[in-house]
Amino acid sequence: MSESTLSLGYRDFQKEVGFFLGYGRTYTSYTAGQVSLIDDIIQGGLRKFYHPIEPGTNQHYEWKFLKAPTTLTTIASYTTGTVTSSSTSVTLAVGTWPSWAATNGKLVVNGTRYTIASRTSGSIIVLSSAPSVAFAGDTFELEHNGNYDLPDDWNGWACKYLTFQPEDLEGRVRFVPEETVRGLRQIFDTRQRPVKAAVRAKIGTTSTTGQRFELLLHPISDDVYTLDGLYNVMLNKIDPTSLPYPVGGMSHGDTIMEACLLVAAEKVMTSLIGERKPIYEEKLMQSISSDKEKEPDYYGYNGDNSEGGFRRGCCRLTDYNYIKYEGVLYTGD
């Protein structure tokens, strides 16, 4: 489907901001400096619109059109093949070391866990320290640590819990604080279907990427499960050619335009801030009202589940209501 002819795109914002600043609406006549300033203003207007403070409150409003589905597939331990070692180098026969071996894996041979320093190829990994007795055709288990990178554009969860896909087990994975998962992992090391999850920031940026986040699951998966969730999306800049239309579409074009004009006033025409701000806030309230109309009328059963466990609805759990019997971990879920 082609874009609505009533949608406002980059050129529309560029011309209107240029006219507001006194440059005229013929963008081809703008100087390089004017083009650069207008672009800064447009991107600033988008940031203001995408992460607004709802007028009359001190709270951020989260747009429904900035929520995207995501699917995470858990990873079970890898055991294919046998291993031999020479010093810290471990060679795998028959199988192929998974790509996550060094980043998220621990090698277990004869009951001893070894830290993996690097994966040099599909058949060779390097341990942080050499085993006291060299491996010679030993069986092994490559354990996954239960941590998974979240999407690069992840900006917070927009759901209350993660669900298993229909063909998987019934149940859900609820969010808990990061220290809760660490505490549970310290007490229980049995691998089962996950029931709890936490988010942790990954420290460090590069020349091309900013900060990222990871999801910690507990218990660590004993099998391959598919989890579905909804998250708030971080967006990229718009531009005249490859990405001319902002997310939000025709419905919010006028509000985005007013956000750009307010940023222009804040950056250049400061005497007009008092004039532009109420216009933007009025448009913003209209957009928020329209967005709220897309909420469901029915949110589900709201009864008392205090006496029961999971019943296709809510569950009432403490963070440590786990039971072990003969080495098997049982949970309240």
pLDDT in tens, 216-246: 999 999 999 999 999 999 999 999 999 999 9
Q: What is the mean pLDDT of the chain?
A: 89
Q: What pLDDT, on a 0 to 100 scale, did the predictor assign at position 294?
A: 76
Taking only the tens place, the pLDDT of each residue in 73-88 is 999 999 999 999 999 9
Q: What pLDDT, on a 0 to 100 scale, did the predictor assign at position 53?
A: 92
- Which residue, of 90, 115, 144, is where some domain finishes? 144
DSSP 8-state symbol, 326 = T
- Residue 267: domain span: 10-63+248-292
CA of residue 233 relative to chain centroid, distance: 7
What pairs with residue 328 in β-bridges? Answer: 325
pLDDT at 215 over 70: yes
Question: pTM, whole model, 2 decimals?
Answer: 0.80
Higher pLDDT pick, 205 / 114: 114
Residue of 236, 263, 237, 240 lying closest to 28 (CA atoms): 240
Taking only the tens place, the pLDDT of each residue in 122-137 is 999 999 999 999 999 9
Domain count, the chain: 3
Question: Residue 90: how many CB atoms within 10 A of its CB?
Answer: 26
Residue 51 lies in a domain: yes
Residue 103 lies in a domain: yes
Residues 96 and 112 in one domain: yes
Helix (H, G, I), strand (E, B) or coil at 125: strand
Residue 46 lies in a domain: yes
Q: What pLDDT, on a 0 to 100 scale, did the predictor assign at position 204?
A: 76
Q: Calculate the alpha carbon distances from 258 to 42, 88, 146, 238 in Å.
A: 10, 62, 45, 16
Residues 126 and 152 in one domain: no
Residues 55 and 15 in one domain: yes
Residues 226 and 261 in one domain: no
Residues 106 and 183 in one domain: no
Structure tokens at 278: 């109420």
Higher pLDDT pick, 119 / 168: 119
- Which residue, of 235, 256, 272, is where some domain finishes? 235
Residue 305 lies in a domain: no
pLDDT at 172 over 60: yes
Q: What pLDDT, on a 0 to 100 scale, did the predictor assign at position 210?
A: 84
Mean pLDDT of 196-216: 88
Lowest-confidence segment of 118-132, 168-182, 278-292 by average pLDDT? 168-182
φ, ψ of residue 184 to 5 degrees: the values are -65, -40
pLDDT at 274 over 70: yes
Band (311; pLDDT cuts 50, 70, 90): very low
Band (105; pLDDT cuts 50, 70, 90): very high
Q: What pLDDT, on a 0 to 100 scale, did the predictor assign at position 316?
A: 40
Residue 229 lies in a domain: yes
Q: What pLDDT, on a 0 to 100 scale, did the predictor assign at position 330?
A: 53
Residues 155 and 140 in one domain: no
Q: What pLDDT, on a 0 to 100 scale, did the predictor assign at position 211?
A: 87
Residues 100 and 140 in one domain: yes
Q: What pLDDT, on a 0 to 100 scale, did the predictor assign at position 296?
A: 55
Q: What pLDDT, on a 0 to 100 scale, did the predictor assign at position 317?
A: 39
Report angle CA 170, 224, 125 to the nearest 5 degrees: 160
* Alpha helices (H) along 223-316: 253-267, 273-292
pLDDT at 329 over 60: no
Residue 167 lies in a domain: yes
Q: What pLDDT, on a 0 to 100 scale, did the predictor assign at position 107?
A: 98
CA-to-CA distance for 252 and 240, rounded, in angstroms?
19
Q: Express as a percent the part of the chain with pLDDT over 90.
A: 78
Band (309; pLDDT cuts 50, 70, 90): very low
Question: Residue 237: how many CB atoms within 10 A of its CB?
Answer: 12
Residue 53 lies in a domain: yes
Residues 227 and 169 in one domain: yes
Residues 163 and 220 in one domain: yes
Q: Express as a percent the part of the chain with pLDDT over 70.
A: 87
Residue 71 lies in a domain: no
Report the sign of the C-alpha dihedral through residues 228, 230, 232, 235, in that order: positive
Q: What pLDDT, on a 0 to 100 scale, did the predictor assign at position 58?
A: 86
pLDDT at 192 over 90: yes
- Which residue, of 128, 144, 160, is where some domain finishes? 144
Mean pLDDT of 205-213: 82
